[in-house]
């Protein structure tokens, strides 16, 4: 069993994951209520919250567990907010020192990919094309085997999650924007406003890349055309939300299936905070079925957004593929950008 810690942004999470990727414990504390007050994540506040909550979350996750019995400690070492990351890393180092355990550093985005390994009843099939889509990253990887993955697409500006968050703010919906915008969109008409699908027809080096900053600007101008958000009725706001959500989801899936077609790989996967989005999940499953593809999404919504269980899964992969002489010494672990 591995005890994993994740503190890359505004969540503090500690999980216990066994060697079959089964989640034994997964405690998540989120400071998003604080971020809602400030209109988004403020790194200084997130770092303070992480430092304040770390020991409580650790205590809750390891209740009735003897840490002498675990195999290793794991921790996210980046990318993320440096103040928050440091709390997780230094706590993990202390545990590794006290309990004399290896400390496995985990790349956050690989953690998101490994969220798809958690609590599965069947083996995960390689190779797979994975869309990892969050607030801070938006990539397509070819995941060749447990440890090998190659990025083939990325965003050239904002990530889709960031676009959800900024658009939600423009619509006066609060933070975190993704789930709030999606809730508003449930009563809206996604066809009422025709927002762009950026880079959809790119033929050059951007063929598999994303761009979401233009979508944000398009919404800004549309709101201005409508006389400002204060002059929009509830239905118009819902229609704007639904039209933005449709444009984001279509853009994401268009590129994912373009890569799938190009590389002829019959397994596709979604992960990252935005993969918690219901229309995105539904549409992804529908297209995968139509194309007769194997498909994976994290078993539970809480495995899509930031959590330590995914870090535990990634650490199990790193541990069981560890190279000759690789010691996972806590003294070697530091923040990685
Ligand atoms: O993976 P994550 O928890 O943190 C990062 O690594 O960035 O992703 C957070 C992002 C936020 O931008 C949030 O608005 C978005 O995921 N998100 C959603 C939904 N739930 C979270 N976006 C759309 N629909 C959702 N249901
Ligand atoms: Zn994340």
Regarding the beta carbon of 179 and ligand 1, being less than 6 Å apart is answered yes
Which pLDDT score is estimated for 243? 98
Whether 291 shows a pLDDT value over 90: the answer reads yes
Which pLDDT score is estimated for 31? 87
Q: What are phi and psi of 275, to 5 degrees?
A: -70, 0
Q: What is the mean pLDDT of residues 292-318?
A: 98
Report residue 165's pLDDT band, with 50, 70 and 90 as the boundaries. very high
- The answer to whether 40 touches 111, Cβ cutoff 8 Å, is no
Please tell me the distance between residue 178's alpha carbon and the centre of ligand 1 in angstroms.
6
Residue 293: C-alpha distances to residues 129, 243, 256, 285, 287 (Å)? 11, 28, 13, 9, 9
| Residue of 12, 26, 164, 303 best suited for mutating to test ligand 1, as the one with most atoms within 8 Å of CB | 164
Which contiguous run of DSSP H or E holds residue 39?
A: none
Whether 128 shows a pLDDT value over 90: the answer reads yes
Mind listing the pLDDT tens digit for each residue in 49-73? 999 999 999 999 999 999 999 999 9
Whether 199 shows a pLDDT value over 90: the answer reads yes
Regarding the beta carbon of 80 and ligand 1, being less than 6 Å apart is answered no
* Residue in the structure block whose two tokens are 């639904």: 242
| Residue of 161, 306, 310 best suited for mutating to test ligand 1, as the one with most atoms within 8 Å of CB | 161
How many Å apart are CA 60 and CA 7, to the nearest integer?
Answer: 16
Which pLDDT score is estimated for 39? 82
Please tell me the distance between residue 292's alpha carbon and the centre of ligand 2 in angstroms.
29
Mean pLDDT of the chain: 96
Q: What are phi and psi of 171, to 5 degrees?
A: -85, 5
How many Å apart are CA 330 and CA 73, to the nearest integer?
Answer: 9
How many Å apart are CA 51 and CA 58, to the nearest integer?
Answer: 12
Q: What is the mean pLDDT of residues 147-169?
A: 97
Residue nearest to atom 22 of ligand 1 (CA): 178
- Count the neighbouring beta carbons within 10 Å of the beta carbon of residue 231: 9
Please tell me the distance between residue 304's alpha carbon and the centre of ligand 1 in angstroms.
8
| Residue of 9, 41, 135 best suited for mutating to test ligand 1, as the one with most atoms within 8 Å of CB | 135
Mind listing the pLDDT tens digit for each residue in 251-283? 999 999 999 999 999 999 999 999 999 999 999
Whether 35 shows a pLDDT value over 90: the answer reads no
pTM of this prediction? 0.96
Which pLDDT score is estimated for 337? 78
Which pLDDT score is estimated for 3? 98
Give the pair of three-digit tokens for residue 211.
């761009």
Which pLDDT score is estimated for 224? 97
Please state the separation of Cα 269 from the chain's center in Å.
13
Q: What are phi and psi of 24, to 5 degrees?
A: -90, -40
Give the nearest ligand 1 atom to 80 CA: 6
Please tell me the distance between residue 216's alpha carbon and the centre of ligand 2 in angstroms.
21
Residue nearest to atom 8 of ligand 1 (CA): 273
Question: What is the Cα Rg of the chain in Å?
Answer: 20
- The answer to whether 248 touches 168, Cβ cutoff 8 Å, is no
Q: What is the mean pLDDT of residues 5-24?
A: 97
Whether 302 shows a pLDDT value over 90: the answer reads yes
Mind listing the pLDDT tens digit for each residue in 110-126? 999 999 999 999 999 99
């Amino acid at each position: 069993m591995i005890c994993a810690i994740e503190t890359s942004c505004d969540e503090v999470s500690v999980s216990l994951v066994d060697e079959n990727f089964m989640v034994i414990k997964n405690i998540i504390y989120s400071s998003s209520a604080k971020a809602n007050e400030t209109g988004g994540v403020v790194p200084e506040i997130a770092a303070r919250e992480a430092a304040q909550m770390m020991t409580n979350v650790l205590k809750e996750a390891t209740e009735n567990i003897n840490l002498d019995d675990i195999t290793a400690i794991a921790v996210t070492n980046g990318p993320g907010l440096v103040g928050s990351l440091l709390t997780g890393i230094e706590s993990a180092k202390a545990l590794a020192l006290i309990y004399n355990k290896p400390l496995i550093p985990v790349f956050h985005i690989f953690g998101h990919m490994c969220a798809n390994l958690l609590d599965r009843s069947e083996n995960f099939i390689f190779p797979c094309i994975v869309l990892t889509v969050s607030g801070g990253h938006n990539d397509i990887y070819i995941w060749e085997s447990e440890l090998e993955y190659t990025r083939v697409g990325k965003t050239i500006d904002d990530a889709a999650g960031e676009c959800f968050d900024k658009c939600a703010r423009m619509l006066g919906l609060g933070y975190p924007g993704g789930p709030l915008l999606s809730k508003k969109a449930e009563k809206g008409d996604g066809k009422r406003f025709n927002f762009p699908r950026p880079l959809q027809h790119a033929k050059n080096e951007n063929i598999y890349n994303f761009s979401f900053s233009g979508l944000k600007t398009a919404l800004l101008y549309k709101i201005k055309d409508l006389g400002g958000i204060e002059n929009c009725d509830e239905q118009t706001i819902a229609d704007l939300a639904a039209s933005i959500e449709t444009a984001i989801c279509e853009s994401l899936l268009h590129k994912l299936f373009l890569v799938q077609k190009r590389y002829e790989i019959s397994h596709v996967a979604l992960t990252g905070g935005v993969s918690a989005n219901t229309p995105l999940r539904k549409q992804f499953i529908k297209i995968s079925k139509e194309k007769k593809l194997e498909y994976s999404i994290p078993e539970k919504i809480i495995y899509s957004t930031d959590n330590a269980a995914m870090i535990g899964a990634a650490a199990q992969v790193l541990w069981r593929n560890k190279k000759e002489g690789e010691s996972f010494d806590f003294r070697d672990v530091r923040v990685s950008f």
